[in-house]
A = this chain, B = another copy of it.
Amino acid sequence: MEKLLCGVDLGGTKLSVGLISVDGRIHDKLTVYDHVGKNEIMIVDQIIRLIKQLISQNELSESDLRGIGIGFPGHVRYKDGHTLTTSNLKGFKNFPLRQAVAEHFMIPVLLDNDANAQAFCEYKFGAGKGYDTVIFLTISTGIGAGIILNNKLYRGITGTAGEFGHTIVNSDNNQICTCGNEGCLMACACGLALPYLFKKKTEQGIITTLPLPDDFNYSHVDGKMIMKGLEIDDPLSKAIIQECADYIGIAVYNIFQILNPPLIILGGGLTCWGETYLTRIRKKFHELARDMIFDKIEIVEAVAGGDAGLIGAAALLLE
């Protein structure tokens, strides 16, 4: 039997560890939620115990695994295997996560950003299969991305390349991002922007037909609520989806001009808005790109589901 890959998807709400086959299928996995609020050392312990438990409950030994790939929700210094920053977990500032895990195993351990892992999953097993160059954008609460050029993840000097979410697309816009800047893509077009957009459009006089609870405040607005609005043809929800889609269309256009890829894959929670959203993104892109497109460029939805981060982290061992 070909060796299995071990993937670790360390998220802000969920910690999953899985055994993944080289063709991207999940052999077994364990998921916990009680890592939230713990410090780095305790989380490392938890990861090690989960990996050992998986090995044992599958009657395997460590040598049946090719290695361990870890996806981390934040900046990573790739070469050193250090985490740099994260908004989703406590601590992990300059923390040697790869080394802390590797000390407990004989097999190779890799650490990368979670969006890179998801991108690699799509490239290897999902919508990017067969392409050698793929740009992946994940649009959820925030916006992450991964750049695959000529069959390799492009990481840059530190390992933080691909932060399209932080690129400025509207320098006159005063919507503020968690990074502190105004007018970057994340400030304009992800889950974090929805409360602001709901307020702005309400103040512009756009009505909503969504039933709002008595204790409603704008911070309740999220992607699912806007999805419900879309289902009942709510004018305000549709206006928000259009504005978000137009900004993603601009980002897709910028990616096209900079990297000239054959394929851009869109994933993440807000793609639940479906064809209305995707069609509008493509429309905005084509309005901007017009006669500057010389070769076919596809803008498609991600196909790997909620386990993309887990499978991708494992797949990093195949890079």
Q: Interface of A with B (CB < 8 Å)?
A: 75, 77, 84, 133, 147, 149, 154-164, 166-173, 179-181, 183, 247, 250, 253-254, 257-262, 288, 290, 292, 294-295, 297
Contacts and interface: CB of A to CB of B under 8 A. Distances in A.
Contacts of A247: 171
Nearest to A163: B257
Contacts of A84: 294
Contacts of A147: 258
A94 to B, nearest CB: 9
Contacts of A155: 260
Most buried by B among A133, A180, A288, A290: A288
Nearest to A164: B258
A167 B258 contact: yes
A319 B251 CA distance: 31
Contact of A158 (B158, B258, B294): B294
A239 to B, nearest CB: 16
Given A168-B250, A170-B172, A295 B161 contact: no
B294 A161 contact: no
Given A260-B156, A260-B160, A261-B157, A254 B180 contact: no
Given A157-B295, A168-B169, A180 B258 contact: no
Contacts of A258: 147, 161-164, 167, 258
B168 A77 contact: no
Contacts of A259: 154, 156, 161
A282 to B, nearest CB: 16
A181 B287 CA distance: 9
29 contacts: A75-B294, A77-B294, A84-B294, A147-B258, A149-B149, A155-B260, A157-B260, A157-B262, A157-B295, A157-B297, A158-B295, A159-B260, A160-B260, A160-B292, A161-B259, A162-B258, A163-B260, A164-B257, A164-B258, A166-B292, A167-B253, A167-B254, A167-B258, A168-B250, A168-B254, A168-B288, A170-B171, A172-B172, A181-B288
A136 to B, nearest CB: 13
B257 A167 contact: yes
